[in-house]
């Protein structure tokens, strides 16, 4: 029997950062991961560390995350290839450019410092962008990082601060005995704690449902690919207004591109699929003509949870005291994840998070019947 202050289910960036911050605050923590920490969405995502484009309701939390990211080497002991390259959101029509202008206006005061670029300014500053772009919005302090390194490092660092990290440790049973949660795992562990954190990503719905608050979450599988190393051209991470593809170039020259949806192989594994891959290749040469003739060497996908409003669930359970949720990031959890881990830590250590989590309450789904 393992007695701890908090049991965290899910070793992605949210659960692992919660484990890290709780451990640093002196709490006894057990982090349970079915596979390997950071081996699913948190570790295989595109690697965008971006505030621009998020719903306004996420920006306070995203700003907090921005501060945590600036301290990454001190926090984790690695730089995680994090760089504030800037994030360039392209408009392919004047309508899209207007939408970017509107977002820049409404997000003023959140500290994003967005710069709207017209066609000439865009050409002058980012000559590698294709002619299909008529303008853009640039967020200078957004950037990108290597998720394969950063997300597992949160778990590794939590371990160094005393957290128990159990990998290949699937949870088989969870119950609350009136005082504590009791959790059993497939490899025979039995744990007890007054707090239970549901950070199980695309697989978090089952636990919520068990406590009588099912959510209408579905799994999605973003498609991604990477090129062979190319001469350094892209000096910003990019996206496109209205969706489509996103792309960045890492220091060793490989361009990472994403867009569209792949398909599930089973409950835990996904592939990008031929359709999405060919569509990325097609769109990429329009948006980034220098890629013509380059070669994609690898493709991949992951499994991510999406709620209908594309907003995450963060904070207290509406039905079970002691249960906290942090899941459903709709493919945009990498940047904000550490701040969510911190907010959940604040709830446990000081009764409430410093940033309001009202917009992300699970109770918004309580009245909806889930098919």
Partner 1 sequence: MSPVVIVGAGPAGIRAAQTLVAHGVRPILLDEAARGGGQIYRRQPANFKRSAVKLYGFEAHKASAIHQTIDDLHEQLDYRPDTLVWNAETAALDTLHDGRATRLEFSRVIVATGATDRVLPVPGWTLPGVYSLGAAQIALKFQGCAIGERVVFAGSGPLLYLVAYQYAKAGANVLAVLDSSPFSAQARALPGLLAQPATLAKGIYYRSWLTAHGIPVHQGASLIEINGEQRVQSLNWRNAKGSQHLECDAVAFAHGLRSETQLADLLGCEFTWNPLNRAWLPQRDSAGRSSIPEIYLAGDGAGIMGADAAEMAGERAALAVLEDSGYLIPPQRGNQLEHALNRIGSFRKGLEQAFAFPEDWAANAADHLIICRCEEVRAGEIRQVVREGHWEINRVKAHCRVGMGRCQGRMCGAAAAEIIACESQRGVSDIGRLRAQSPIKPLPFGLEVEP
Tell me the window of 11-19, 211-219, 283-291, 316-324 that interacts with partner 1 (CB under 8 A): 283-291
Q: Of 2, 132, 233, 285, which lies in the binding site for partner 1, with binding defined by CB under 8 A?
A: 285
Q: Does 171 bind partner 1 (CB under 8 A)?
A: no
Residue in 69, 46, 54 with CA at minimum distance from that of residue 112: 54
Closest approach, Cβ 158 to partner 1, in A, equals 13
Q: Of 109, 243, 293, 321, which lies in the binding site for partner 1, with binding defined by CB under 8 A?
A: 293
Integer Cα distance of 302 and 308 in angstroms:
19
Cβ proximity to partner 1: between 53 and 259 the closer is 259
Task: Give the sheet arrangement for strand 323-327, strand by strand.
Answer: 164-166, 29-32, 6-9, 195-198, 323-327, 313-316
What is the per-residue binding string for partner 1 in 297-326, x denoting contact by CB under 8 A?
xxxx--------------------------
Tell me the window of 50-58, 80-88, 109-117, 145-153 that interacts with partner 1 (CB under 8 A): 145-153
Find out whether 23 and 5 touch, Cβ atoms under 8 Å: no
Cβ neighbours of 363 (radius 10 Å): 14
Q: Does 228 bind partner 1 (CB under 8 A)?
A: yes
Residue in 264, 300, 257 with CA at minimum distance from that of residue 280: 257
Q: What tokens were used for 239?
A: 């996206």
Find out whether 315 and 325 touch, Cβ atoms under 8 Å: yes
Q: Does 273 bind partner 1 (CB under 8 A)?
A: yes
Q: Does 236 bind partner 1 (CB under 8 A)?
A: no
Q: Does 77 bind partner 1 (CB under 8 A)?
A: no
Cβ proximity to partner 1: between 284 and 339 the closer is 284
Residue linked to tokens 């990503």: 201
Cβ proximity to partner 1: between 294 and 349 the closer is 294
Find out whether 329 and 200 touch, Cβ atoms under 8 Å: no
Cβ proximity to partner 1: between 127 and 252 the closer is 252
Cβ proximity to partner 1: between 175 and 228 the closer is 228
Cβ proximity to partner 1: between 139 and 245 the closer is 245
Q: What are phi and psi of 238, to 5 degrees?
A: -130, 155
Q: What are phi and psi of 248, to 5 degrees?
A: -150, 165
Closest approach, Cβ 19 to partner 1, in A, equals 15
Query: 169 by DSSP, 3-state: which?
Result: coil
Residue in 3, 12, 4 with CA at minimum distance from that of residue 202: 12
Q: Does 223 bind partner 1 (CB under 8 A)?
A: no
How many residues touch partner 1 (CB under 8 A)?
Answer: 31
Q: What tokens were used for 371?
A: 């098919």
Residues that bind partner 1 (CB under 8 A): 36, 39, 43, 148-149, 152, 156, 227-228, 263, 265, 271-274, 277-278, 281-282, 284-285, 291-300
């Amino acid at each position: 029997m393992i007695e701890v202050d908090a049991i965290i289910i899910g070793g992605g960036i949210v659960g692992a950062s919660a484990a890290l911050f709780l451990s640093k605050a002196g709490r006894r923590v057990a982090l349970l991961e079915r596979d390997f920490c950071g081996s699913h969405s948190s570790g295989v995502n595109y690697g965008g560390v971006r505030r621009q484009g998020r719903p306004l309701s996420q920006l306070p939390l995203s700003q907090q995350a921005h501060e945590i990211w600036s301290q990454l080497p001190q926090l984790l002991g690695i730089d995680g290839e994090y760089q504030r390259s800037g994030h360039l959101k392209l408009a392919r029509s004047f309508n899209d450019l207007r939408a970017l202008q509107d977002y820049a206006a409404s997000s003023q005061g959140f500290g994003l410092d967005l710069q709207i670029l017209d066609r000439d300014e865009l050409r002058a500053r980012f000559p590698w962008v294709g002619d299909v772009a008529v303008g853009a919005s640039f967020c200078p302090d957004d950037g990108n990082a290597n998720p394969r390194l950063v997300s597992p490092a949160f778990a590794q660092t939590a371990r160094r601060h005393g957290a128990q990290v159990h990998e290949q440790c699937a949870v088989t049973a969870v119950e609350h005995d009136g005082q504590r949660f009791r959790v059993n795992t497939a490899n025979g562990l039995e744990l007890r704690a007054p707090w239970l954190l549901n950070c199980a990503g695309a697989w978090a719905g089952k636990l919520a449902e068990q406590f009588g608050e099912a959510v209408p979450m579905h799994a999605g599988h973003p498609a991604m690919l990477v090129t062979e190393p190319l001469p350094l051209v892209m000096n910003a991470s990019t996206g496109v207004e209205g969706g489509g593809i996103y792309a960045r170039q890492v220091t060793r020259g490989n361009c990472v591109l994403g867009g569209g949806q792949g398909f599930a192989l089973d409950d835990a594994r996904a592939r990008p699929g031929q359709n999405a891959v060919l569509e990325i290749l097609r769109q990429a040469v329009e948006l980034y003509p220098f890629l013509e003739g380059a070669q994609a060497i690898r493709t991949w996908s992951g499994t991510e949870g999406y709620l209908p409003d594309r907003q995450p669930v963060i904070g207290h359970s509406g039905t079970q005291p002691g249960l906290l949720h942090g899941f459903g990031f709709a493919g945009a959890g990498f940047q904000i994840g550490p701040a969510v881990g911190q907010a959940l830590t604040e709830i446990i250590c000081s009764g409430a998070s410093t940033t309001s989590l009202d917009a992300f309450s699970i109770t918004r789904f309580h009245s909806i019947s889930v098919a």
